[in-house]
């Protein structure tokens, strides 16, 4: 168990920032997403982030450069992406945590990588 | 006041609040777009100066105690140089690097992920208690444990109890031992006392604190004094003086950020549905700046621009001065209070609050600016306990789907 969670954390099968919803699908937990963003911990293993920082998302998120899932270690991101074929991994040195505006229909915060690293 | 009253108090329409948010977004975008070599040179210069000061201080303390003629002036100079180095490292470098202000440089050393600072609190715990808890829940009673650091009653809305009579003493102890108070900050002693803290998490955090604290003690009170040979006591005393100076200075600067009279506290729990613009507004209302020249601002980690720091915690600190001019203009345009004053006045107000709130409310009057007009549907908020919420108790934003479901933005 880590950071007061009542369950164990596993970067791939039980990542920190996600919980399994009633329909069996993984759902991001809002406060944990914010915690990862500001505490600078990995959304999968909940340990301090490294460099580079990685994000996972589908083609649309990659094209918009705006991700819903929190920052991750590179290895954790690759582990998560291996289990979700639609996800790609993007690497960056820095990111912006963007809170939603009143006009956003999607009221989730996003992460915008601001110093992308190739490869 | 309740967060829902903020816009009422400001007499701003929803559209005006959003427009203010857009103006602040523009400032952010412009600064981000103009970040570059000059900014990188600034932080590299700061680190170079800080390391120079630290090396000069350590060398002075190593070389001067052996002669009767140089012992005292050497100890004074060494302690001053080392104290300055510690202040610069903690305030302008460590605090700001750990916010990610310099991550954009992609520098392997100057990065929020791996910076460890010269103070007893482990960086990881600082990033939780400060970057997350304090910056996300700024001045929200029951959430932000920086409101009195868990030992001081700093808001009239907090319930008084007889232990508060000792506040003047607790305050002096906190100021003197500030690095150790900060070291224990993320542990949440109150939760431990109530038996509510997860034992595994507590053990993990305690292990980190003990390792970091031991290394700090070894460095300043064993290894460097030993390098001075028979005159180790002089070096040990000078090191203790440097740490004390840093403690007192950082305590004063931090208390000036949120406890002068103009900085507001918030009581409502429904803060997770704030829009970005409302979040901006809460940061402006909950923080206070102080005036000073460039040197004062550098030595205070540019936290004299506390309002700007809370609006943009991850923009480079050397840009806060220019940002402050624009934020001040915006506040004037929208008729929003912008709390600022000289350092001595801001600290004086914080100290007065500490003294006054050691007594029950009926014995003292409030020094806060007028409260918002009471809304017809509002009820007076009940007193708030000093303790804070755990991560699990903080309000959920909403249940949300990860990469599997999303909606188009309206704009």
Touching check for B195 and chain A: CB below 8 Å?
no
Structure confidence at residue B141 (pLDDT): 86
What SS3 class is residue A89? strand
Residue reference for tokens 């302008």 = B92
Q: What are B318's two structure tokens?
A: 């050397």
Tell me what the mean pLDDT of segment A99-119 comes to.
88
Q: String of b and e for B127-138 (b: at least 16 CB within 10 Å)?
A: bbbbbbbbbbbb
Among the listed residues B103, B21, B45, B116, the one whose alpha carbon sits nearest the alpha carbon of residue B315: B103
Q: What angle do CA B261, B266, B268 make, to 5 degrees?
A: 165
Q: Is residue A106 domain-resident? A: yes
Residue A45 structural domain:
18-117
Q: What's the mean per-residue pLDDT of chain B?
A: 88
Task: Specify the number of domains making up chain A.
Answer: 1
B263 contacts: CB under 8 Å, gap ≥ 6? B139, B257, B285, B286, B287, B288, B339
Between positions 58 and 97 of A, the ones with CB within 8 A of B are 58, 60-61, 68-69, 84, 86-87, 93-97
Q: Is residue A5 domain-resident? A: no
Terminal alpha carbon distance of chain A: 33
Structure confidence at residue B188 (pLDDT): 85
Q: Taking CB atoms and an 8 Å limit, are B198 and A94 in contact across chains?
A: no
Q: Is residue A55 domain-resident? A: yes
Tell me what the mean pLDDT of segment B246-257 comes to.
97
User: Does residue B7 or residue B154 have the better pLDDT?
Assistant: B154
Tell me what the mean pLDDT of segment B24-38 comes to.
97
Say whether pLDDT at B397 is over 80.
no
* Per-residue model confidence as pLDDT tens digits over B356-377: 999 999 999 887 766 544 433 4
Q: Is residue A23 domain-resident? A: yes
Residue B142's φ and ψ, nearest 5 degrees, are 90, -10
Q: Taking CB atoms and an 8 Å limit, are B276 and A31 in contact across chains?
A: no
**Which pLDDT band holds residue B6 (cuts at 50, 70, 90)?**
low
Q: Is residue A1 domain-resident? A: no
Q: Report the alpha-carbon distance of residue A89 to residue B362 in Å, rounded.
A: 59
Say whether pLDDT at B110 is over 50.
yes
Say whether pLDDT at B114 is over 50.
yes
Touching check for A99 and chain B: CB below 8 Å?
yes
Residue in chain B closest to A6 (alpha carbons) equals B198
Q: Taking CB atoms and an 8 Å limit, are B410 and A1 in contact across chains?
A: no
> Looking at beta carbons, which residues of chain A come within 8 Å of B112?
40, 49
Structure confidence at residue A23 (pLDDT): 87
Decide: pTM greater than 0.95.
no
pLDDT above 90: percentage of residues in chain B: 71
Structure confidence at residue A2 (pLDDT): 61
Q: Is residue A57 domain-resident? A: yes
Touching check for B400 and chain A: CB below 8 Å?
yes
Say whether pLDDT at B257 is over 60.
yes
């Amino acid at each position: 168990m880590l950071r007061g969670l009542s369950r164990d954390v596993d970067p791939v099968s039980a990542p920190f920032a996600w919980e399994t919803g009633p329909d069996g699908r993984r759902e991001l937990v809002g406060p944990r997403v914010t915690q990862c963003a500001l505490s600078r911990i990995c959304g999968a293993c909940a340990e301090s982030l490294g460099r580079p920082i990685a994000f996972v998302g589908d083609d649309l998120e990659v094209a918009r450069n705006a991700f819903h899932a929190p920052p991750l270690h590179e290895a954790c991101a690759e582990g998560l992406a291996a289990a979700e074929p639609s996800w790609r991994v993007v690497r960056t040195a820095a990111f912006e945590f963007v809170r939603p505006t009143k006009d956003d229909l999607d009221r989730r915060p996003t992460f915008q990588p601001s110093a992308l690293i190739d490869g | 006041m309740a967060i829902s009253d903020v816009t009422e108090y400001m007499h701003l329409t929803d559209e005006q609040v959003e427009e203010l948010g857009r103006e602040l977004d523009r400032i952010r975008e412009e600064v981000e777009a103009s970040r570059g070599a000059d900014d990188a040179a600034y932080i590299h210069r700061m680190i170079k100066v800080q390391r120079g000061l630290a090396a000069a201080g350590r060398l002075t303390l190593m070389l001067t105690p052996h002669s009767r003629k140089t012992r005292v002036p050497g100890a004074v100079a060494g302690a001053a140089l080392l104290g300055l180095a510690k202040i610069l490292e903690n305030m302008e470098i460590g605090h700001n690097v750990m916010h990610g202000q310099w991550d954009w440089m992609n520098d392997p050393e100057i990065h929020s992920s791996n910076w460890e600072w010269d103070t007893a609190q482990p960086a990881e715990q600082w990033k939780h208690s400060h970057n997350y808890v304090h910056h996300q829940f700024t001045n929200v009673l029951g959430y932000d444990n920086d409101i009195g650091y868990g030992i001081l009653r700093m808001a009239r809305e907090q319930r008084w109890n007889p232990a508060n009579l000792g506040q003047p003493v607790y305050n002096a102890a906190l100021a003197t031992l500030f690095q150790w108070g900060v070291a224990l900050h993320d542990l949440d002693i109150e939760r431990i006392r109530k038996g509510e803290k997860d034992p595994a998490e507590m053990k993990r955090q305690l292990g980190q604190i003990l390792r970091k604290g031991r290394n700090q003690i070894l460095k300043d009170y064993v290894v460097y004094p030993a390098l001075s040979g028979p005159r180790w006591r002089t070096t040990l005393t000078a090191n203790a003086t440097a740490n004390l100076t840093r403690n007192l200075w950082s305590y004063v600067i931090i208390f000036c950020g949120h406890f002068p009279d103009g900085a507001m506290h918030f009581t409502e729990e429904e803060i997770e549905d704030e829009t970005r613009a409302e979040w901006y507004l809460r940061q402006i209302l909950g923080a206070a700046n102080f005036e000073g020249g460039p040197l004062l601002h550098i030595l205070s980690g540019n936290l004299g621009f506390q309002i700007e720091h809370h609006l943009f915690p991850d923009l480079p600190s050397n840009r806060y001065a220019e940002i402050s001019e624009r934020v001040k203009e915006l506040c004037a345009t929208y008729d929003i209070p912008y709390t600022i004053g000289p350092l001595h006045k801001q600290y004086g107000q914080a100290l007065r609050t500490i003294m006054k709130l050691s007594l029950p409310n009926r014995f003292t009057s409030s020094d806060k600016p007028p409260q918002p007009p009471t809304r017809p549907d509002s009820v007076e908020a009940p007193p708030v306990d000093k303790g804070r919420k755990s991560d699990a108790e903080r309000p959920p934003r909403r249940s949300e789907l990860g990469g599997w479901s999303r909606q188009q933005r309206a704009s």
